[in-house]
Amino acid sequence: MIKQKKNGELIIISGTTCAGKGSVIEKLLERNKNLSLSLSYTSRPIRAGEVDGVDYKFISHEEFEEKIKKGDFLEYAKVRYGEYFGTPKEEVKRLLSTGKDVILEIDVQGAQQIKELFPETILIFIMAPSMSEVKKRIKIRGKETKDQVLDRFITAYKEINEIPKYNYVVINDELEKAVEKVEAILLSEKCRVDRIEEISVENQEEFMHELLMDSDFTNESISNKIS
């Protein structure tokens, strides 16, 4: 009686620095086979431990700018130090057409660009429980200079101000609970009436026919049902 849409849902997950959004996404992909992550393209150099085609799709500045001219990105941005990041248009459309739900891990700027193109996009913002916890997590990493840490904090505060533009916010104080909250969000979105393609209800003649064919019903019960 209820027919779900054939295309998958587009899900954007953003978050402040050290909010653990990457860990949340990794767990979601492990536990939900219908979820797929769309890899972003970037022009920045590959870092130690990263794998092309796993962490990002690494291309040169020239290749990236050529793709911009061809309209190959759903959204893209040029960040500090002049590096590009972008979401591939055709790959996302292909995955959605197969019924896969697609996760994009992008910043607040890119999220708003895509929301304008696809109004039904589900926007989820992941946060650390506090800025003191962010500071603690940055220290554990031990890779940033003081200036870089300060830049991260300034960016984080700016991003927090963008939360009202999102549909949901999840506090990642405990990874397992955060993942469960996101899963609950995605399940509830699937149950929304405006995401159902078609609802059909049998007419009265079909209903009566089914009752007449069912030996469990007596003539009296049928009369009571349709009166």
CB 107 within 8 A of CB 21: no
* Domains of the chain: total: 1
Let me know the angle formed at the C-alpha of 29 by 23 and 32, rounded to the nearest 5 degrees.
135
Q: Residue 2: pLDDT band by 50, 70, 90 thresholds? A: low
Residue 56 falls within a domain, yes or no? Answer: no
CA angle, corner 19, sides to 119 and 160, nearest 5?
55
Would residue 54 count as lying in a domain? no
Residue 89 lies in a domain: no
Provide the 3-class DSSP secondary structure of residue 172.
coil
Residue 138: its pLDDT value, please?
Answer: 75
Residue 144 has pLDDT above 60, yes or no: yes
The answer to whether position 28 is within a domain reads yes
- Provide the residue range defining the domain that includes 206: 2-38+101-226
Neighbours of 104 (CB within 10 A): 23
Mean pLDDT estimate for the chain: 86
Q: Distance between CA atoms of 214 and 227, rounded to whole angstroms?
A: 18
The whole-angstrom separation of Cα 68 and Cα 152 is: 27
Q: Which of 6-20, 85-99, 128-142, 160-174 bottoms out in mean pLDDT, i.e. has the lowest?
A: 128-142
Within a domain: residue 83? no
pLDDT tens for each residue of 66-89: 999 999 999 999 886 789 999 999
Dihedral over Cα of 200, 202, 203, 204: its sign? negative
Q: C-alpha angle with apex 155: 154 to 159, nearest 5 degrees?
A: 120
Does some domain include residue 174? yes
Q: Please, what is the end-to-end C-alpha distance for the chain in angstroms? A: 24
What distance in Å separates the CA atoms of residue 178 and residue 183, rounded to the nearest whole number? 9
pLDDT value of position 200: 57
Q: What is the CATH number of the domain that holds 155?
A: 3.40.50.300
